[in-house]
A and B are shown apart, each in its own frame.
Chain A
Amino acid sequence: MPTEKEFQISPIVPESVMHNTKALSNLQTLTASIFGAAAGILGLESYSGFLFYFVFTLLTAVLYYTIRVAPTSLKADHPIFDTSRYFRSSFEFWTGGLLNGLAGYILTWTLFYGLVRA
């Protein structure tokens, strides 16, 4: 946990923090709706449907890390899987947006399940 003194020595830019978290959560909300369509097409039921959502949301986070965080972060000599250049904590990066797409996911899931199953 960074102390107050560490914040005085290396301060954080709040506008950047907001921009980064907004970018990630917008992406996760959008992809959640699309994953719902895929789950409806596949005809997934209760537990497997939610498992599908969590697995693919984590996959989206991994893709986002590989494409947007890793190139510049690794060039600046951060260790691998360290998101401290762009996000305040790794836990927040990987798990912060897990639940905010769930509503859109369930919406499109039930829609496509009903559509495809005639």
Chain B
Amino acid sequence: MTWLSKSTAALGFVLLTHACYSAHEHSALQSHRAASLSSSSGPTSSLPIDIAIETFVATFVIALGLVLGTSQLRPIQWRVWAGKIEREGESGFTNSSGEVEKDYVGNPFRLLESRPGFVDIRKQRKEFAAWRKETSATA
């Protein structure tokens, strides 16, 4: 849940609480008025239009805030999913607070790929050269 979604949902809840209290006050006022005048109003009182509008707006804002707080969807076609893991690794599967999601599987062939016969020697050479350059630059 990002801060944007939390604040939007909180704003929507404030509006909804205000609308709820207003509606309660309105209904209490109507029943008090009906009791003191001893005239019976109908069981369904007419809610003022501004409370109704406030309720609709509050509902929409809460729904928007909650949708913004959902996590990223994952592609279901195998090739798209595997391509995403290859390109982005763990960083493509983080939730909103930046941690890797708990049910992240990763490359399904990583046990096979780490066998000695399948080692990617060019990639390891490049990494070693970069590390060498970095340590000789600092040393």
A contact set with B: CB distance below 8 Å: 10-13, 15-17, 19-20, 23, 27, 30-31, 34-35, 37-38, 41-43, 45, 56, 59-60, 63-64, 67-69, 72, 76, 85-88, 112, 115-118
The reply to whether A31 and B78 form a contact with Cβ atoms under 8 Å apart is: no
The reply to whether A38 and B58 form a contact with Cβ atoms under 8 Å apart is: yes
CA distance A10 to B66 in the complex (A): 33
Contacts A23-B73, A45-B44, A68-B72 known; 7 new A-B pairs at CB < 8 A: A31-B66, A35-B59, A41-B20, A41-B23, A59-B63, A76-B80, A86-B73
The reply to whether A63 and B64 form a contact with Cβ atoms under 8 Å apart is: yes
The reply to whether B77 and A69 form a contact with Cβ atoms under 8 Å apart is: no
Cβ contacts B42-73/A at 8 Å (1 or 0 each):
00110100011001101110111011101111
CA distance A117 to B45 in the complex (A): 9
CA distance A43 to B67 in the complex (A): 26
Residues from chain B with a CB closer than 8 A to the CB of A12 are: 76-78
The reply to whether A10 and B24 form a contact with Cβ atoms under 8 Å apart is: no
Tell me, rounded to whole Å, the shortest Cβ–Cβ distance linking A96 to chain B: 14
CA distance A59 to B28 in the complex (A): 32
6 A–B contacts, CB within 8 A, in A order: A10-B77, A12-B78, A13-B76, A41-B19, A72-B73, A118-B31
B87 at the interface (CB under 8 A from A): no
Residue of A nearest to B22 (CB): A41
Known: A37-B20, A38-B59, A85-B80. A20 touches B103 (CB 8 A): no
